[in-house]
Each structure stands twice: as C-alpha cells, then as structure tokens.
A and B are shown apart, each in its own frame.
Chain A
Amino acid sequence: MSQIEIKVPTVGESITEVTIGSWVKKDGDSVKRDEVICSLDSDKASFDVVSEADGVLRVKAQEGDVLPIGGLICVIETSVEVASAPASAPAPVTSTPAPVAVASVAPATAAKVVEMKVPTVGESVTEVTIASWNKKDGDTVQLDEVLCELESDKATFELPAEAAGVLRIVAEAGSTLSIGAVICKIEVGAGSAAAPAPVAEAPQSNGQVVSANASNDSYAAGHPSPAAAKILAEKGIDPASVAGSGVGGRLTKEDAIAAQPKAAPTATPVEQPKAPVAPPVAPAPAPKAADARGQRRVKMTSLRKTIARRLVAVKNETAMLTTFNEVDMKPIMDLRAKYKDKFKEKHGVGLGFMSFFTRACAVALQEFPVVNAFIDGDEVVYNDFSDISIAVSTERGLVVPVVRNAEKMTFSQIEKEIIRLAGLARDNKLTIDQMQGGTFTITNGGIFGSMLSTPIINAPQAAILGMHNIVERAVVVNGEIVIRPIMYVALSYDHRTIDGRDSVSFLVRVKQLLEDPTRLLLEV
C-alpha cells in the first residue's frame, strides 16, 4: 500500500488560501482517478479537486477549513492489489470498508482509544471555541458522524468522528482550546457492536431492516431517479449535495423537489425523532407551514463568508468616496430602437446597455489612467488596457468575470463576451483566470430596481461604476421642460489615489459618451 498526498494547488497569483467547500466523497470511500473528491472555495471562485489515483480516501481537512496553497487536503491510499485491474475500472478496491464493514472490524481492535484533537483550520487561527456538542458523553458514535461544532474568528466548522465507538468528552461546550488540544476520546470497539442500531432509520416497513442495502451508505447513495435528475439539473443543484431519502440513499423525485440550492450543505442529517416508531415520512424537511413565526439558521457558505470579509476589509482599508451624475438615456434608447433588429440579425446577439457602458468606461479609463490604476505597496500601477470586471449575481453570490481589452472591442464583441461570461457564471463554470486581473468594475443594481447606490470597490481596483434603473424625469433641455429617461450613475473610488477632479471628470466623460454615443465612434 502506498500513499499519495493531495495538496492545495496554486490557483492564481493573488490567492494565498482556500476553504474546503464540501466533500463529495467521505473518509474511507473508494475513489477513482480523476473523480471529483471535494470542492475548494477561494475568494474568487470554487473549483474541484480530483483524485490523483485510484484508492481509498483519507480526509485530512474538514469542510470549512481554510488551507494555505500547498496545504494537505487528503491522502489517497492506493492498494497494490488494484494494480492488476485496468485503470478505468470503477474501483474494485478491496482493502476497505464498505460501510457495513465498520461495525464488524471494530470489535477486533477493541479497547483502542482514538484521541481527537483540534484540527489546524488555517494558518492565522490559533484557537477555537467549542460552540456545542451534538453528542453526549458516553454516547455511541459512528465514523464521520458530527460530534460538535467549533468556532474560530474566521469560520464555524463541524468536527466529525474519526472512528466509531463510545464518546468520552474532554472539553465542555464553551471552552476555548488551542490548535492541537484534545477535545474528546473515542473508545473504539467498546459497545460498538450495537453501534449501527441507534441510527434507526425509520424504515418503510418493519422486518426489512436486515437488508444491508438499507444503509444510507450504499453504492447508490445520492443516485437520482430520472425525474429527480432532471429537476436537480434545472435547479442547478449538484446531486452530491442532496441527501437521498430513497432506498440506499437514492434521491427521489420528492428529494429533488425539496432540495434548495446550496442551503446548508451538510446540515446535521435528521435530528433523531424521540420515539423510534416515528412515522415513515419523518425525514421530510417541510419548512412549509406558512404562518409559523419560525426562524432558520443556515450556515454561511464559504464564498459568502469570504465576500463578507472582503467587503468589510475594503471599507476599512480604502478611502472610499462616491460621486454621482445623471445620464439622459434617450439617445441610446433611440439608437437601440433603430438598430436592435439589424444588430441582432447581423451579430446574433441583442444590443444591450452593457456594451455602451463598457465602451464608454473603456474610453474614459484611457483618458483618466489613474481611475484604471491600483495601489501596490508604495507604488501605483497604471494599466494601459481596460480589463473591465462585470458584476454578475448568481445563486451562490456575486462574481465578477472580466471582459478583457474592452478598449479594443466592438459593441457586438462586448455583448457576446458578456453573454458568454454570464452563462459560465450561472453554470458555476468560471475559472479563477476569468475572474482576476480586472482593472475597473461595472455593477448594475438597476436590474433589481435600484435608483441610487454607493457601490463598494472591487479591491485592489480603485474605482467602480454603479448603473441604476431608468426612470422618466422632467428635465430641462434647451430651455424647455421635457420628459426624458434618466439613469443616475455612481462612481465609487479610492480617494487615496484618485482626486475629486479625476473621478468627477471621469464620470462626466462617461456621461458625455453615453448621451451622445457618436462620440464613441468619432473618438471626441
């Protein structure tokens, strides 16, 4: 048996740490080469980690752990016997534990005690607090069952049992422990013969419990039925993130209908009903009752936590200021009305507002290079190109893919690129490369109805343009009051490098280019 260590790969120059988003495979599972085993979140994107070999997975970092680049994620134990089978075989791995095996293996190694310690959860975290115990001292616990919840200044995470056996709690809830301190002990073997029983799954009918397949850990766990597969695909939910209530953990149509995108990925699997005679439908999630004044606690996803942290950091670390102006959208709307069909016919994409705004910003950025610059230590880095980040709202949170060299692109190229990037964003397929390196950002709160806002800079960039919705306003043109479609625009900027003169002039220039788009053509 040999071991292959899987470490956090280098994922982009500005990224120094990643968070373990979710494990697709469990500790002890057989995995195949190139099979996805877990997902990592960084502040920019999520990506999948694939197994580098066939073998048995040994998880070294838990969901929510923050690891530096190069940090150890897991170990794959490749068994020598497997070598005889061709590589593509779906793991006739012998050496390990079909889930059923756990109980029977245990008694053989009885009386062994596993000490569980506070895991390393990120380089800057030195201590954690025990938020709550899910199990009581003396309880029988299963491998991977969540024992307690730990909190650090960065994140909350769950501590799964490293072995099956009887729990002996060392540190009580509320106590603060340093990394490496003992939290609890598990007496492996003691009483574990009875271990599988307390989970008592409320089976469909009595008398069938004997079947090994009743375990939720069967090979088919998480396999969606055809109808469930369709529903999940349409909701954009990875079947691996849904708990199956069907035989052997299969995903039923009902599971798929009830599944919520990315809500509490591994919420503790079904609080055990008091009476084991619970009705068969016990595990139904059903937070439906409309009139109940209920509360729900849903753990923040790693991405959401990172967004939160970064937004606060930007507010604290920059001298952010916002300037406003208004744009008469009539010329653009007239132009669109006139050429919309021809444009679509010729280029195969619609002529939207985004191409006008992107072009206008790209031109203005060339004229006011400081708005397109960023601070690096004691230096200001100026960019000769306009790589414009476009904020896209997805179900997972805000992402900002970059339209590169916008200053050289035509309207149709910009529209196509935005559609392409937004599509990737919706499908969760954006790569880190596609999201980093932007020099300026455009965000459009208008699509949700916002009239005025002060957007927060997308650090390390120095400025962001906020678009808003278009409303009819009475304005004075050539001494006459007329009704015009007006959009308020906002430019938030980092006052440390950009002076009021530049920021205001920049925004005025954008306004000019939008109110008279021919200027874009004539470059005046």
Chain B
Amino acid sequence: MQYDVIVIGSGPGGYICAIRCAQLGLKTAIIEKYKTLGGTCLNVGCIPSKALLDSSEHYYNASHTFAEHGIQLENLKVDLAQMIARKSEVVNQVCKGVEFLMKKNKIDVYQGLGSFVDKNTVKVTKEGGDIEMITSKNIVIATGSKPSSLPGVTIDKKRIITSTEALQLNEIPKHLIVIGAGVIGAELGSVYARIGAKVSFVEYASAMIPTMDATMGKELQRTVKKLGADFYFSHKVKTVENTGDEVIVTAENPKGELVTFTGDYCLMSVGRKPYTDGLALENAGLAADQRGKIEVDEHTLQTKVPNIYAIGDVIRGAMLAHKAEEEGVFVAETIVGQKPHINYLLIPNVVYTWPEVAGVGYTEDELKAKGIAYKTGSFPFKALGRARASMDIDGTVKVLAHKETDEILGAHIIGPRAADMIAEAVVAMEYRASAEDVSRMSHAHPTYTEAFKEACLAATGNRALNA
C-alpha cells in the first residue's frame, strides 16, 4: 500500500497525529505493536492511574471525611479486585473509542511491530510472524517511552515493579517502597497509601516533584504525609533485592551512611526512557542519541531525514501526553504546508495526586536564574468559600508576574482540580495577559477558579479580597 503518512505508535501523540492527517485529506496508516491502540497513556499510564486515583480517593474520603459530612458508613473495605477490574473496563472503553476514531477517519490500522526498511518503507511484523510492507511519502515516529530503572537494579515485575505492574496488583502492599518521588511515584504512592499501604518514598533529590515549582513540592509533601507516607530525600539507592516475600532496598543517606528499607513491594518510578527498540532506525539513515532520543529540527520536528518526523516521548521535551498530542497535530499540519504554533513554555505540567498539582510557564527558581524581575501573588484554598464547603482546603495558587509589566510569567497550583484550573492560566499566558487582566475578569462564585483570580489580585498589588 502507498500512503501519504504512516504513523508508528498509537499513543496520544500517534493517534492524534493520524486523525489530524486524515482530517487534512492525507491517506494515513497507523502501526501499533500491542493488541490495543492508545499506547502507554491509555493502557498503562494516564487513564488507568487516574481510574485508580479516583477510586482510592473515594475510599479515603469515605473513611475519613464522610462522617463529618453526616454520612455514616459501616464495614467499609476495599475490594481491590473490583477496583482493578473497573480500571480495566475504563481502559477497555477508551481504547475502543480510539479504534472507532480510526474507522471514522478512514485510517488503516496495522497491528504488529513497525520497522524501517528504508526512508519510505515500513515493514509490519505481525504477531504470527507474517510480514507486510507499506510505503509512504511521510513517516511519523511516535513510539513513546518505557519506564527506566537505576543501574544495577533489575525489575522482576513481581516484587520490584514499574508503574505498569502497580496498576494491577492483586493485593494491597503492606509496605510499598517507592523509589523516586516524581510525578508517577507521587501518584501511585498516594493510591496505595490511601487504601491502607504503608508507603516510603526514597528520592535522590531533596524534595518531591523536583522539576516543578519548589513551593508545590513542599505543599504536596505536607498533604501526602497526612496519608501516613514517609520521605527519605537526598537518598541514593544502591541495591534493590527480592528475597522472595520481601524486597530490601539499600540506599546511601545524606551523611554517607548505608540505610536499608524492607517492604513487600518496591515501585521503581525514576523516570522513563525513549523507546525505539525494533524500529531499525539505521535503515532509514537515523539513529537515536545516547539517551535514546531522536533528534528533530526545532521548528518542524523533522528528523535529519526530511520526510521522517518524530513526536512525543522519543524527542526532546517533557514526556507528557498533551505535549505529544500538540506535536502530533503540529506535524500533520506541517506536512500539508501549514505553519502551526506550539509554545513549549505553555505546556502545563500536572500531577494527579489529591490535591492535584499543576504548573505552567516559569517556576520561581527559573525566573531567579534568568534574572527576570518578578513579583508573586498567592492565595490559599483554605480562604476560599467553595473549598471550605467541599472540605478541600489543602493547597494554594501561586502566580508569578513580571515586576514592571505585570505580565503573568508562571502559574503554579496545588489544590482541588488544579489540573483543570491551570487551563485558565494557559489561556491567559498565550495572550500574554497581565495579572491585573485576569483579576478584572468575572469568575463565578463559589468556584475553585476564584482562587486563581485572587492570586492574580495578590500579584497585581497585594489586593486579594478574601485573604
């Protein structure tokens, strides 16, 4: 078959790219190695983890806050098998949805391992070993990433597990040791902490979610601590050993002493690495760099072979589903000669703990490092009527604005529905709104987004009305 575009990988970057290509009138094919479409995000990432996060949050609220709401429950307990089954059903439905979208947009789906034969030809090796050759004018690499490990630590998928296994455990761990307190560790660690596991975070950096604004890390630690979690920061993990019924983690503490942690499960959440195995990049004249990333042109996302593009986790930038989606649309439009727009600074970062954490633009540390004169405005959720009514009083909104012009340079939110609220900051910043601009727009009352308005007021001239 001859196509205009072949997309290799059906994650949020790949399948969105394929749909946009089809919308633009290109004859499009998509290749997926796994049985279901949707990639990491739908199958073993965003969607299933959010399903479990919500389930565990409901349980936590039922056991901790319902009584205060005046709701009495007896014999409350977790049915983990049902919780995992519901998660699987959610995943199943969402994947079916993607399949439907492929049909609707007349995109040919090839199930099998895609590998380059040359720069225009891809070989699809199906599960039974059958081979099919397809050719295309343009090829988009969207093969995503895999969980990575630490040197010397072998993931056995039984007791030493990654996020993938953590989404389908058949028992609640007694003591879950989470190596890495970044986004994935924080999310899955809090799932199991809520349903009764003892959780210990062992983190190399000196705070949680170290890539986000420092205030967010501190606040998040405070709320996760309430779930009974322990934190061991500035600890360098040396070995992880599965002894059969237990896992023993040895780490070096900040004083240089060796300390050991014993638990029944160890979750490796130290990041992800780009995944290009089996692609045979060399046949197309391409190669991944030392860190496994594929180099692309900053303005066009073209690899050094002009008709081959790469998007999402396999290229530079944050490993986020919505970043990959933007890039998928970007590449599709670029192929047909349009000149689309992506502002990488304005791609929000989100952690789906409860409270959620979301940030966009510069962090306070980045502004300091760049020598940009800025001012801050903060507003705590505990001063917000809506948050009081819902008993969601943890967290704060922090707005960073330019000292002279009042332009919003960064917004960082930890609080209920922060992931949704951050969109307001993105819209404002795409239009280069000032903090005063936002604070002069009407916000419905009572809502969580009022906290963003109040933080903007605070940034404008310390004029928050409800603080």
Contacts and interface: CB of A to CB of B under 8 A. Distances in A.
Interface of A: 85-90, 92, 98, 211, 213, 218-220, 223, 225-227, 229-230, 233-234, 246-247, 250
Given A211-B440, A230-B338, A230-B340, A250 B372 contact: no
A92 B404 contact: yes
A362 to B, nearest CB: 28
A230 B432 contact: no
Contact of A230 (B341, B370, B407, B431): B341
Given A85-B373, A213-B434, 7 more contacts: A92-B372, A92-B403, A211-B440, A219-B405, A219-B407, A220-B407, A223-B431
Nearest to B346: A226
A242 to B, nearest CB: 15
Contacts of B341: 226-227, 229-230, 233
Contacts of A234: 338-339
B446 to A, nearest CB: 26
Interface in B383-420: 402-405, 407
Nearest to A231: B339
Nearest to A219: B405
A416 to B, nearest CB: 12
B323 to A, nearest CB: 15
A229 B437 CA distance: 21
B431 A88 contact: no
Contacts of A86: 370-371
B430 interface: yes
14 contacts: A85-B373, A86-B370, A88-B371, A92-B373, A92-B403, A211-B440, A219-B407, A220-B405, A220-B431, A220-B434, A229-B341, A230-B340, A234-B338, A247-B437
A86 B373 CA distance: 11
B373 A213 contact: no
Contact of A85 (B340, B371, B433): B371
Residue picked from B339, B340, B343, B431, most chain A C-beta under 10 Å: B431
A89 B372 contact: yes
Contacts of A223: 431-432
B436 interface: yes
Given A225-B430, A247-B437, A250-B431, A89 B339 contact: no
Contacts of A226: 341, 343, 430
Contacts of B372: 89-90, 92
Contact of B437 (A85, A88, A90, A213): A213
Nearest to B434: A213
A218 B431 contact: no
A48 B195 CA distance: 62
Interface string B277-317: 00000000000000000000000000000000000000000
B403 A219 contact: no
B118 to A, nearest CB: 11
A220 B430 CA distance: 11
Nearest to A84: B371
Nearest to B372: A89
A406 B407 CA distance: 54
Contacts of B403: 92
B404 A98 contact: yes
Contact of B373 (A89, A233, A247): A89
A422 to B, nearest CB: 15
A190 to B, nearest CB: 30
Contacts of B436: 211, 213
Contacts of A246: 431
A248 to B, nearest CB: 8
Contact of B431 (A89, A98, A225): A225
A245 B215 CA distance: 38
B228 to A, nearest CB: 44
Nearest to B403: A92
Contacts of B407: 219-220
Interface of A is mostly: loop
Nearest to A232: B339
Contacts of A250: 431-432
Contacts of A219: 402, 404-405, 407, 432
Contacts of B339: 230, 233-234
B324 to A, nearest CB: 18
Nearest to A94: B404
Contacts of B437: 213, 247
Interface string B15-55: 00000000000000000000000000000000000000000
A219 B408 CA distance: 12
A261 to B, nearest CB: 14
Contacts of A211: 436, 440
Contacts of A89: 370-373
A227 B333 CA distance: 13
Contacts of B370: 86, 88-89
Nearest to B409: A90
Residue picked from A211, A213, A227, most chain B C-beta under 10 Å: A213
Contacts of B431: 220, 223, 225, 246, 250
A234 B370 CA distance: 32
Nearest to B407: A219
A146 to B, nearest CB: 26
A259 to B, nearest CB: 14
Contacts of A233: 339, 341
Interface string B317-359: 0000000000000000000001111010000000000000000
A225 B346 CA distance: 13
Nearest to A228: B341
A246 B432 CA distance: 12
A451 B405 CA distance: 59
Contacts of B343: 226
A220 B436 CA distance: 14
A208 to B, nearest CB: 8
Nearest to B432: A220
A464 to B, nearest CB: 32
A230 B343 CA distance: 12
Contacts of B434: 213, 220
A219 B407 CA distance: 8
A219 B401 CA distance: 13
A174 B338 CA distance: 48
A88 B373 CA distance: 12
B291 to A, nearest CB: 26
A238 to B, nearest CB: 13
A90 B405 CA distance: 11
A219 B436 CA distance: 14
A313 B405 CA distance: 51
B136 to A, nearest CB: 15
Nearest to A89: B371
Contacts of A88: 370-371
A34 to B, nearest CB: 15
B183 to A, nearest CB: 26
Contacts of A98: 404-405
B436 to A, nearest CB: 7
A35 to B, nearest CB: 15
A366 B405 CA distance: 63
A92 B338 CA distance: 36
B374 to A, nearest CB: 9
